[in-house]
Structure 1
Amino acid sequence: MRIASAPWWLFALCLYLSVGCTSASRPAVTDADSAAVPRVDTVRPLQVGAAQFEVYLPQLKGRAVGIVANHTSLVEGAHLVDLLREKDVNLKRIFTPEHGFRGNVGDGEHIDSGIDPTTGLPIASLYGANRKPKPEWLQDLDVVLFDLQDVGTRFYTYISTMHYMMAECARQGKLFIVLDRPNPNGEFVDGPIREEKLKGFVAMHPIPILHGLTVGELAQMINGEGWLGEGLECPLQVIPVANYTHQTPYEPPVKPSPNLPNYHAIRLYPSLCLFEGTVVSIGRGTPFPFQVAGAPDPAYGAFTFTPVPMPESSPHPPQEGKKCYGVDYREVNITGLSLEPLLSFYRNSPDKATFFNKNNYINTLSGTPTFQEQVKAGKTEAEIRASWEPALSQYKAMRKNYLLYAE
């Protein structure tokens, strides 16, 4: 894990901003809202929310607890579920998002509920027959913990799972505790704001592609902006990351999902994911997903690869079994959101009429049908970016109300 240190004044600023976590401009949390203030220390390294047991364990004592967790829910290499059981927390149920509790289920694959063979705990799938938790799954719980490693993009589904769990906790008055983790793309706020008509599981919130929030900050925004609907407000508590700012480089210790195998893929993901709305493969079904791009035509480039089924990452990859020509981005430094990869491929496409998927998935990914129209019209990246205003600037101003960490 690469964690950069920061000067003393930046940590002090982080503490100053964090103290406002339960101010009037943000949603009320619980009677233990003092636990939402991050501890800033110039000696100790970054510490994720899940590692701060002394802060949140008192909230769990004598209570029935559920947890939204997966393979990323680690504290110094140990799984949080195991650590909580060792501390005699009354864990009643595990909720699992896309890719499953062990993180070994391919993208989009149905996940069944069942019993975890290691712990014997029931697992309720939030990416199978139900994406919203069944009301009865929460009725015997007092508290729900949320501990997943996000990557900071609107279309990464862990935040949609969080949204649905917050809504059900709000309906039943259950305390929802977010054990916050850093955003590995947290220094960027960029992209078009999702239009309401495109709302869906990979486009749940009216935020840009790179939202610049941790899941804890986003949970506060969801509450504060009334996005749960029905007049709902979730009883929320956030355990912030200690010694973190949005400029702190953070490489997750394990891959957050099967097709983001390393830090470079995580950093390329915001830009290359747009290809999923086109005929272009981004390397699913290869050893280097989200680090290459290509399609079955030499016009796209000299680099070649052939996607094949990989049961634990991509059982049915796009362009399966076809030799793809394109670009190898493994040595290319792209951070934030760049439109150049997609614009370049479109310019080189020999059949522009079929470049975008028939289902117009590019509209969902970009958050607006305007983007596809702009690409087809030959607009430059600068011209496309200009169209994102003033909505993007308005979002940036609103975002400041929910920040727990210095920018």
Structure 2
Amino acid sequence: MSHVRTGAERLAADPGLLPGDRVGLISNPTGVLPDLTPTLGALRAAGVPLTALFGPEHGMTGTAQAGFSEGDRIDPATGLPVFDTHFKDGEVLDEVVAASGVDTLVFDIADIGTRFYTYVWTMYDLLASAARLGLRFVVLDRPNPLGGLVTEGPLLDPAFASFVGRAPIPVRHGLTAGELALFVNRSLGADLRVIKAEGWRREMRFAETGLPWVMPSVNMPTLDTALVYPGTGLFEGTNMSEGRGTTRPFELVGAPYVDERFAPALNALGLPGVRFRETWFTPTFQKHAGTVVRGVQLHVHDPLAFRPVMTGLSMMHTVRTLYPEDLAWWGPDLFMDHLWGSDTLTRCLDAGEDPRTLCQEPARPEGELLYE
């Protein structure tokens, strides 16, 4: 089976695609070639003059939990300095990038096609730094594992911009990292280049790419996780467990107050492409750690028909209907509003209204699409 040639594979084969004498690589465990050779090693072997490394949330080796990183350190395999970028932006991030001494930043991290997944916003912040510091920025593009045809959820309201969403794109955005970089760079003005992924088409399922699935973060173990995440990731903003601390994060959703009505009510909705199985689980950390909770596991049987954001909203509406006194918002600064990208969802649910009316498929953000 042939495979999509990622930007990283193309660059490793032809290092002349990359300008620069002092190159900094922004990557994590997903930065690999199709044979699982790390991009870092492949580019060094090809003669790319790497002089610094940059780690996002979870760190360059992916050991840190959500909201954390690995800090500044020296990479033991190469001796290169690793600069921690997590939760740094503006002048603080500029100081980090300037201290690295690079003239070109290269981004090679797999995204999962959901606005509130943070790697593309690390890319955004570093792209903004590159613009301010006069550096080149190169994106080694990769397929969107959710495909590139379907979008779901509203565009982000700029008043709710944060590290889980900095630009007006939908929750399920249907873009590659390279396309998103081109879109946001219209206002940033960096010296940007995207090395395309050859052979990818917008309708392709990830299995058709011939590429290996490498877990992009500690709570994103499988493609099944990524498929449900645009919807069940919203439960991070509630007092329900989204399955963190289990082996099936985001596929499991539950709470101590859930009873036997939840699973049948969800299955009665007849949502496309998914069924719900009643289950019990005990999170080992985060919400309800050490407590047996009742809930459901999502079983996606038709990924093409499945609409994760509509499913997540339907689940939340069902919880609010069945347990109106129990469902509560969770996290600082009403985190749900930042996940959703506006306060329309919390206002809708607090008013007892059906949030599925908010999930009209939006127009794709205007910008250059690199793939057919």
TM superposition score normalised by structure 2: 0.85
Residues 175 and 235, structure 1, Cα contact 8 Å, conserved in 2:
yes
Q: 2:295 aligns with which of 326, 348, 358?
A: 326
Give matches, 1:99-110, under 5 Å. 99-110=58-69
Residues 113 and 145, structure 2, Cα contact 8 Å, conserved in 1:
yes
Q: What secondary structure is seen at the aligned counterpart in 1 of 2:233? A: helix
Residue 356 of structure 1: aligned partner: 329
Residues 314 and 356, structure 2, Cα contact 8 Å, conserved in 1:
no
| AA partner of residue 260 (structure 1) | M
Deviations 1:276-320 (A, max 9, x none): 1111111100111111100012425542101003xxxxxxx2211
Is 2:241 the partner of 1:269? no
Residues 279 and 357, structure 1, Cα contact 8 Å, conserved in 2:
yes
Residues 109 and 119, structure 2, Cα contact 8 Å, conserved in 1:
yes
Q: Give me the identity figure in percent.
A: 32
Superposition deviation, residue 61 in structure 1: 6.5
| AA partner of residue 198 (structure 1) | F
How many Å separate the matches in 1 of 2:226 and 2:162? 22
Residues 94 and 133, structure 2, Cα contact 8 Å, conserved in 1:
no
- Unpaired runs of 5+ residues, structure 1, are 4-43, 310-316
| AA partner of residue 155 (structure 2) | I
Residue 371 of structure 2: aligned partner: 405
Residues 65 and 90, structure 1, Cα contact 8 Å, conserved in 2:
yes
Residue 168 of structure 2: aligned partner: 206
| AA partner of residue 131 (structure 2) | A
Aligned length: 342
Residue 48 of structure 1: aligned partner: 6
Deviations 1:161-182 (A, max 9, x none): 0011111111122111100000
370 and 320 in structure 1: CA distance in 2 versus 1, 3 angstrom threshold: same
Q: 2:309 aligns with which of 337, 350, 361?
A: 337
* Structure having greater relative contact order (Cα 8 Å, sep ≥ 6): 1
Q: What secondary structure is seen at the aligned counterpart in 2 of 1:329? A: strand
Superposition deviation, residue 189 in structure 1: 1.1
Superposition deviation, residue 378 in structure 1: 3.2
Residue 192 of structure 2: aligned partner: 236
Superposition deviation, residue 193 in structure 1: 1.4
Q: What secondary structure is seen at the aligned counterpart in 2 of 1:373? A: helix
Give matches, 1:189-228, under 5 Å. 189-224=151-186, 226=187, 228=188
Superposition deviation, residue 126 in structure 1: 0.9
How many Å separate the matches in 2 of 1:346 and 1:64? 54
How many Å separate the matches in 1 of 2:116 and 2:8? 24
| AA partner of residue 253 (structure 2) | A
Residue 172 of structure 1: aligned partner: 133
Residue 127 of structure 1: aligned partner: 86
| AA partner of residue 266 (structure 1) | A
How many Å separate the matches in 1 of 2:87 and 2:351? 39
Residue 71 of structure 1: aligned partner: 29
| AA partner of residue 239 (structure 1) | I
- Unpaired runs of 5+ residues, structure 2, are 264-277
Residue 39 of structure 1: aligned partner: none
How many Å separate the matches in 2 of 1:234 and 1:358? 34
Mean alpha-carbon deviation: is it higher for 296-305 or for 148-157? 296-305
| AA partner of residue 385 (structure 1) | C
How many Å separate the matches in 2 of 1:164 and 1:240? 21
346 and 237 in structure 1: CA distance in 2 versus 1, 3 angstrom threshold: same
Is 2:201 the partner of 1:245? yes
Residue 40 of structure 1: aligned partner: none
Superposition deviation, residue 128 in structure 1: 5.6
